């Protein structure tokens, strides 16, 4: 199994899709000549040409809209929105159109569209450029939302997202692009809506996704040193969400902490804890704990940014509150 | 080298314009150095090459007029009179910065100078310019809103919505387009259907428009002066397109692989500071000695700004939740 980066895993999946399916093309800002703001599409313009690697004006609404229209007509566009912060300019197309067309048309129309974007903070880009808005999309019926935390998941989920007949928000994390991991040589995909137990444990379940799943794994190593055996569940898909895997784990450990990089209010942690309460209340030894970013717009200053983001220490503190 | 537009009369004005442009240049060069040394984080977008625009505009704008800008706004902020120390401290993320370290390079604000912000989402400042102008008109105040934006922003819906509404409501806005020919790696002719002369779009909204040489501080000054006169009569917005070029990458992270170095060489001949120096010397509005004096003064100002930023404290952690309403 070759070891490759998260960035390379995504770009490999994209390349294989473009090579094998003539219906596929990509649309986005600076994905061609500039080779992608995060270099995921490096070399693509040269390999696939401008008809399939479409650089656009800065115009998120029509980028997504053009993808929706093309998908309705039978093409398989893959959209790149440079970061999730800019998806806000395309909200009408994503929420009012992409998510609803299949239902509103009584099933006559499908929108098999992948919207790739980048979420998260941690690089001092300040309030307007550091948001984790994937939960907003996960709120909306008609959309699927995935957010991989490893190269293996990144590739497998992108393949599945591409094959799915629904619009899928595929959410990358800028601080994971350099992360390395093993990937099989043969083709594979990971079904949407299936969580992954990234580490087995018996004392507490830490549920997370994207970069925070990696932080949770590191926290788990430290917890082990003090004799707490933590299980880490990586959601991978936010919608559909794999309630069963969460519940099975909590039934085993009787304790749960949910970790997300976004804001706590109305967030993923709130959703996960509600599901635990609905399905496994009697198994809990303590109230579910939530770890999230501070309830403020992201500050620019490095020390303030670090104080805002969840980290290993805060996860460990939350676990301690359960015992 | 193109001929400069009509000269301004008094010598001190020349010196001021020159000093301002040189200060911006030096500030940006130093900021770039500080970024490389890890003193500045996040994205850093330099204004090097475009100094004539901020300088020309601000030299005629009144203190009551509002300014809004994008993330490439250090030059605008400096020319508006913000203290270089306070800007540099913000870039360093220090407590003494303009936003106490919370905004950073892309979000400079100085409400006391009606500098109502740098906006990092492309196009975001345009609707806000309309709102500031709306308030000015509603309150019968004699204020104009000067809104900076780039050639890339023109392709966002927010630009068109703002142009239209400002015109329909006859609001006092000067739409100041800094056309540096690129939005990140995208050349304007590949992204704008109307080609690189963007000012024609204003026709569709019945907004009077002009294109000026953005490398010529006097031309920018004159165009802004005329625009201000017109806007102050209450007849609605004006659009100015200043043609310019950024000598550096889009941000410090940009390896600039998408344009030929010969293109940059060509534009370097239009360097707004060098061009202006030549004229100022030729017209004897400035002597060699004075030039050296300005150089030294600017250098000292920027050094002092760095020292101030360096020595300032980090924001206290207990300020984390300040300034959040809900
Ligand atoms: C809505 C939105 N989309 C994309 C970006 C990423 N981005 C930042 S600056 C930029 C280019 C803007 O170009 P232009 O308006 O010409 O201004 P310039 O940088 O040339 O001064 C892009 C695409 C963003 N910040 N906001
Ligand atoms: Mg530009």
Q: Is B107 within 8 Å of A128 (Cβ atoms)?
A: yes
- What pLDDT sits at residue B8? 64
State whether A151 and A223 are in the same domain: no
Q: How far is the CA of B121 from the centre of ligand 1 (A)?
A: 7
Structure-block tokens of residue A106: 């009584």
User: Which of the following CATH numbers is that of domain B11-310: 3.90.79.10, 3.40.50.970, 3.90.78.10, 3.30.70.60?
Assistant: 3.40.50.970
Residues of A labelled catalytic: 60, 129
pLDDT band at residue B7, thresholds of 50, 70 and 90?
low
pLDDT value of residue B162:
98
Q: In this complex, which of A61, A124, A303 lies closest to B317 when CB atoms are compared?
A: A303
Q: Tokens at residue B184, please?
A: 């990140």
Reply yes or no on whether the pLDDT at B1 is more than 60: no
Atom of ligand 1 nearest to the CA of A86: 1
| pLDDT above 80: residue B2 | no
Mean pLDDT confidence for A263-285: 98
Instruction: State residue B3's pLDDT score.
Output: 43
Q: Report whether pLDDT(B148) > 90.
A: yes
Across the range B64-71, mean pLDDT stands at: 98
**Residue A189 belongs to some domain of the structure:** no
Residue A191 lies in a domain: no
Residue of A nearest to B191 (CA): A57
Cα of B31 to ligand 1 centre, how many Å?
20
**How many alpha carbons fall within 13 Å on the CB side of residue A109?**
19
CATH number at residue A208: 3.40.50.920
Instruction: Kindly report the backbone phi and psi dihedral angles of residue B70, in degrees, each rounded to the nearest multiple of 5, phi listed first.
Output: -105, -155
- pLDDT tens digits, residue range A216-273? 999 999 999 999 999 999 999 999 999 999 999 999 999 999 999 999 999 999 999 9
The Cα of A20 is separated from the nearest Cα of chain B by a number of Å equal to: 28
Residues A43-66: tens digit of each pLDDT: 999 999 999 999 999 999 999 999
Is B42 near chain A, with CB under 8 Å? yes
DSSP string, A104-142: HTTTS-----EEEEEE---SS--GGG----HHHHHTSTT
pLDDT in tens, B166-222: 999 999 999 999 999 999 999 999 999 999 999 999 999 999 999 999 999 999 999
- pLDDT tens for B235-293 read 999 999 999 999 999 999 999 999 999 999 999 999 999 999 998 999 888 999 999 99
A121/A248 same-domain check: no
Element (H, E) at A268: helix A268-280
Answer whether B219's CB lies under 8 Å from B56's CB: yes
> Does residue A187 belong to any structural domain of this protein?
no
B89-130, pLDDT tens digit by residue? 999 999 999 999 999 999 999 999 999 999 999 999 999 999
CA of A100 to the centre of ligand 2 (A): 36
d(CA B54, CA B21): 8
- Which residue of chain A has the CA closest to B153? A58
DSSP codes of every residue in B19-87: HHHHHHHHHHHHHHHHHHTTSS-S-----TT-HHHHHHHHTT--TTSEEEEESS-HHHHHHTT--HHHH
Chain A: residue nearest B119 by CA?
Answer: A128
Check: CB of residue B118 under 8 Å from CB of residue B77: yes
Mean pLDDT, range A67-90, rounded to an integer: 98
Q: How far is B101 from chain A (nearest CA, A)?
A: 5
Residue A233 pLDDT: 99
In the block, tokens 């098999």 appear at A112
Closest Cβ opposite residue A296 in set B41, B258, B320: B320
With a cut of 80, say whether residue B5 has pLDDT above it: no
Whether A275 and A176 share a structural domain: no
Q: Which of B56, B113, B53, B30 is nearest to B298 (CA)?
A: B30
Q: Tell me the domain boundaries of chain B.
A: 11-310
What is residue A40's predicted lDDT score, i.e. its pLDDT?
A: 98
Clarify whether residues A135 and A210 are in a common domain: no
Q: Which residues contact B206 (CB under 8 A, 6 or more apart)?
A: B167
Question: What rounded mean pLDDT belongs to chain A?
Answer: 98
A43/A166 same-domain check: yes
Q: Answer yes or no: do A124 and B102 touch at CB < 8 A.
A: no
Q: Is A300 on the interface with B (CB under 8 A)?
A: yes
**Which chain B residues touch A58 with a CB distance below 8 Å?**
122-123, 152-153, 155-156, 183, 186, 191
Same domain, A33 and A154: yes
Using the 8-state DSSP alphabet, how is residue B110 labeled?
A: B
Q: Write down which residue in A148, A182, A216 finishes a domain.
A: A182
Total domain count for chain A?
A: 2
> Which of ligand 1's atoms lies nearest the C-alpha of B179?
16
Same domain as A312, residue A225? yes
Partners of A129 on chain B (C-beta within 8 Å) are: 42-43, 106, 120
Q: What is the pLDDT of residue B283?
A: 87
Ligand 2 centroid to residue B133 C-alpha, Å: 25
Task: Verify that A172 and A207 share a domain, yes or no.
Answer: no
Query: Closest Cα partner for A251 from A230, A281, A227?
Result: A281
The answer on A204 and A96 residing in a single domain is: no
Mean pLDDT of A112-129: 98
How would residue B9 be classed by pLDDT, with cut points 50, 70 and 90? low
| Domain coverage including residue A202 | 196-322
Using a CB-CB cut-off of 8 Å, the residues of chain B touching A33 are 185-187, 258
Q: Do A296 and B155 touch (CB under 8 A)?
A: no
CA distance B197 to chain A (A): 16
| Interface membership of B73 toward A (CB under 8 Å) | no
Let me know whether A161 and A209 are in one domain.
Answer: no
Closest Cα in chain A to B123: A58
The answer to whether position A230 is within a domain reads: yes
Q: Do residue B120 and residue A86 have CB atoms under 8 angstroms apart?
A: no
% of chain A surpassing 90 pLDDT:
99
Is the Cβ atom of B36 under 6 angstroms away from ligand 1? no
Pairing verdict, β A114-119 and A76-81: parallel
| Same domain membership, residue A131 and residue A206 | no
Specify which residues A80 forms β-bridges with. A28, A116
Does the distance separating the beta carbons of B93 and A124 come in below 8 Å? yes
Distance from CA of A62 to the nearest CA of B (A): 9
A207 and A160 in one domain? no
């Amino acid at each position: 199994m070759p070891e490759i980066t998260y960035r390379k895993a995504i770009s490999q999946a994209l390349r294989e899709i473009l090579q094998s399916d003539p219906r596929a093309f990509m649309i986005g800002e600076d994905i061609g000549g500039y080779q992608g703001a995060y270099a995921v599409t490096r070399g693509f313009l040269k390999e696939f040409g401008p008809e399939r690697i479409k650089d656009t004006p800065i115009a998120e609404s029509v980028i997504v809209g053009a993808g929706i229209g093309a998908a309705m007509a039978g093409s398989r566009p893959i959209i790149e929105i440079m970061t999730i912060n800019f998806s806000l300019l395309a909200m009408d197309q994503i929420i009012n159109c992409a998510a609803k067309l299949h239902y509103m048309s009584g099933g006559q129309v499908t929108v098999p569209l992948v919207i790739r974007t980048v979420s998260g903070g941690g690089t001092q880009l300040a309030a307007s450029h550091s948001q984790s808005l994937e939960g907003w999309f996960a709120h909306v019926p008609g959309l699927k939302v995935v957010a991989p935390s490893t190269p293996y998941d990144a590739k497998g989920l992108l393949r599945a997202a591409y094959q799915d007949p629904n619009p899928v928000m595929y959410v990358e994390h800028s601080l994971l692009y350099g992360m390395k991991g093993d990937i099989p040589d043969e083709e594979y995909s990971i079904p949407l809506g299936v969580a992954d137990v990234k580490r087995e444990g018996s004392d507490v379940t830490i549920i997370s996704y994207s970069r925070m799943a990696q932080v949770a794994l590191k926290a788990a190593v430290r917890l082990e040193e003090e004799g707490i055996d933590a299980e880490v569940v990586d959601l991978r898909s936010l919608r559909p969400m794999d309630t069963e895997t969460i519940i099975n784990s909590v039934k085993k450990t009787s304790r749960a902490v949910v970790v997300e990089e976004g804001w706590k209010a109305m967030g993923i942690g709130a959703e996960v804890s509600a599901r635990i309460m609905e399905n496994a209340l009697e198994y809990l030894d303590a109230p579910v704990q939530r770890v999230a970013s501070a309830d403020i717009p992201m500050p620019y200053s490095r020390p303030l940014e670090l104080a805002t983001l969840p980290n290993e220490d805060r996860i460990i503190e939350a676990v301690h509150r359960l015992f | 080298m193109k001929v400069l537009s009509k000269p301004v009369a008094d010598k001190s004005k020349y010196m001021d314009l020159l000093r301002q442009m040189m200060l911006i240049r030096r500030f940006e060069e130093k900021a770039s150095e500080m970024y490389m040394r890890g003193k500045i984080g996040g994205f850093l977008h330099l204004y090097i090459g475009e100094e004539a625009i901020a300088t020309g505009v601000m030299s005629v704008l009144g203190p009551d007029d509002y300014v809004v800008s994008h993330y490439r706004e250090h030059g605008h902020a400096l020319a508006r009179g913000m203290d270089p120390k306070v800007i540099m401290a913000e870039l360093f993320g220090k407590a003494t910065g303009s936003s106490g370290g919370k905004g950073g390079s892309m979000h400079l604000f100085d409400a006391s100078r009606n500098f109502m912000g740098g906006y990092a989402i492309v196009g975001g400042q345009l609707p806000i310019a309309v709102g500031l102008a709306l308030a000015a008109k509603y309150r019968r105040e004699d204020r104009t809103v000067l809104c900076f934006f780039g050639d890339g922003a023109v392709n966002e819906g927010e630009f068109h919505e703002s142009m239209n509404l400002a015109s329909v409501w006859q609001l006092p806005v000067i739409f100041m387009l800094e056309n540096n020919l690129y939005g990140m790696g995208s050349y304007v002719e590949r992204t704008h259907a109307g080609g690189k002369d963007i000012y024609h779009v204003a026709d569709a909204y019945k907004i009077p428009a002009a294109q000026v040489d953005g490398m010529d501080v006097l031309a920018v000054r004159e165009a802004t002066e005329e625009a201000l006169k017109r806007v102050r009569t209450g007849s609605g917005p004006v659009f100015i397109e200043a043609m310019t070029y950024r000598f550096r990458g889009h941000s410090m992270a940009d390896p600039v692989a998408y344009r030929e170095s010969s293109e940059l060489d060509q534009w370097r001949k239009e360097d707004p500071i060098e061009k202006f120096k030549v004229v100022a010397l030729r017209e004897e509005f400035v002597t060699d000695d004075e030039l050296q004096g300005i150089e030294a003064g600017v250098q000292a100002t920027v050094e002092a700004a760095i020292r101030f930023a360096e020595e300032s404290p980090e924001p206290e952690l207990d300020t984390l939740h300040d300034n959040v309403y809900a």
